[in-house]
Amino acid sequence: MTAPATSGLRLWIRSETRRAETRVPIVPADASVLIGAGIALTVEESAHRAFPIAGYAAAGAAIARAGSWADADDDFYVLGLKELPAKPFALRHRHVFFGHAYKGQQDGRLLLSRFAAGRGALLDMEYLTDDDGRRLAAFGYWAGYAGAALAVLHRAGLLSAPLQPCSRSDLDEALRRSAGREVTRPLVLGALGRSGRGACAALATAGATPTRWDIAETRVRDLRALLGHDILVNAVLTTRPATPFLTVSDVADPARRLAVISDVTCDVASPFNMLPIYDSVTTWQRPVRRLAEGPPALEIIAIDNLPALLPVEASTDFSAQLLPWLLRLAHQPPSWQRCAQAFDNACQRTGIR
């Protein structure tokens, strides 16, 4: 997909405040494309980004100190991935990132109130979709890959904490070492989606053949079959109420074989959570939490930035998906209009505006 040169559009790539977040929405090679199309690009310095700032400077981007987006001119679109710092409270820019604020998540109302206070706006990339509602830029494949990989490595006794970003070749080598160790019956929910395909690929690298369930197989819950697997990778993200895959009482089933759950969607704070058996995410420092004693014990991995385990691969893939839509941002095509409408709708629902 190509686009005519875009003049007047100014983008600002902010540094991520979370130390474990080393991804970036646009990599240097794609930054060069944006600049070549007439878009003014500023990139903040970062001590932990997977791509050195020198690559952006060589592409022609202006370089700014970390956190200085707050002082940028009002017409900048501020581009990031994860949560904003607590200050400034009032947000006056148009921000493009994953806000996780529209489905009743914890702190969602607070984030929306910050935009109301500064008269800014959120263009949440989760709502950057085509006419059929399919997301146009997502980290799903690498989230699924990392989530399944961590589950396999933990089950095989090869997972150490704290987690560290790595390359795919290093992760795959660890998966190959795990082959044949305790992982015999993995199950992937949402196997046909981006995340599900990534999870299945990681399991294949580990020498495991997963059971693959998607819409047809999850239409009616088969609890006995679900509990009969040793690893469960949940890659199903829903936006409407549905019967959960597992409840607290299900976990107590004495016939349970299930030992490790990796919840890739990590929708714990949402009323649409399909795994309401835990109440908070796990972390890079403590990636695994025990939910029930055994035998076997049941443990969960629920990390909300899984693709950061593979920051170069995940960022490069995501950047290629997002690039065509940033080239069109100034023209406000329907895809970006849907983002704006989702923000307005969320503000109205919560009474912010």
- What's the pLDDT tens digit per position in 59-82? 999 999 999 999 999 999 999 999
Question: How far is Cα 190 from Cα 3, in angstroms, rounded to an integer?
Answer: 34
Mark out the alpha helices in the chain (DSSP H runs). 28-36, 53-59, 108-118, 140-155, 168-178, 194-205, 215-218, 223-227, 248-251, 311-326, 334-350
What would the two tokens of residue 126 be? 């989760």
Verify whether residue 87 is a known catalytic residue: no
Q: % helix / strand / coil in the chain, to the nearest 5? A: 35, 15, 50
What would the two tokens of residue 88 be? 């400034």
Render each residue's pLDDT in the chain as its tens digit; 353 residues.
Answer: 334 445 589 999 999 999 889 999 999 999 999 999 999 999 999 999 999 999 999 999 999 999 999 999 999 999 999 999 999 999 999 999 999 888 877 788 999 999 999 999 999 999 999 999 999 999 999 999 999 999 999 999 999 999 999 999 999 999 999 987 766 799 999 999 999 999 999 999 999 999 999 999 998 999 999 999 999 999 997 877 889 999 999 999 999 999 999 999 988 877 788 999 999 999 999 999 999 998 899 999 999 999 999 999 999 999 999 999 999 999 999 999 999 999 999 999 988 87
Closest by Cα among 235, 208, 203 to 306: 235
Closest by Cα among 231, 307, 234 to 264: 234
List domains and CATH numbers for the chain: 10-127+311-350 (3.40.50.720), 140-309 (3.40.50.720)
Q: What is the pLDDT of residue 246?
A: 95
Q: What is the pLDDT of residue 2?
A: 38
Q: What is the pLDDT of residue 7?
A: 59
Q: What is the pLDDT of residue 182?
A: 66
**The one catalytic residue among 93, 100, 154, 229:** 100
| Beta bridge partner(s), residue 62 | 42
Pairing of strands 231-234, 211-213: unpaired
Question: How far is Cα 94 from Cα 258, in angstroms, rounded to an integer?
Answer: 44
Q: What is the pLDDT of residue 1?
A: 34
Q: What is the pLDDT of residue 5?
A: 43
Q: What is the pLDDT of residue 262?
A: 98
Verify whether residue 100 is a known catalytic residue: yes
Tell me which DSSP letter residue 135 carries: B
* Longest CA span, the chain: 64
**The one catalytic residue among 82, 87, 95, 154:** 82
CA distances from 258 to 118, 159, 202, 296, 351 (A): 48, 18, 19, 7, 42
Q: What is the pLDDT of residue 183?
A: 65
Q: What is the pLDDT of residue 242?
A: 85
294 touches 227 (CB < 8 A): no
Question: How far is Cα 12 from Cα 210, in angstroms, rounded to an integer?
Answer: 42
Backbone angles phi, psi at 340, to 5 degrees: -65, -40
SS3 call for 118: helix
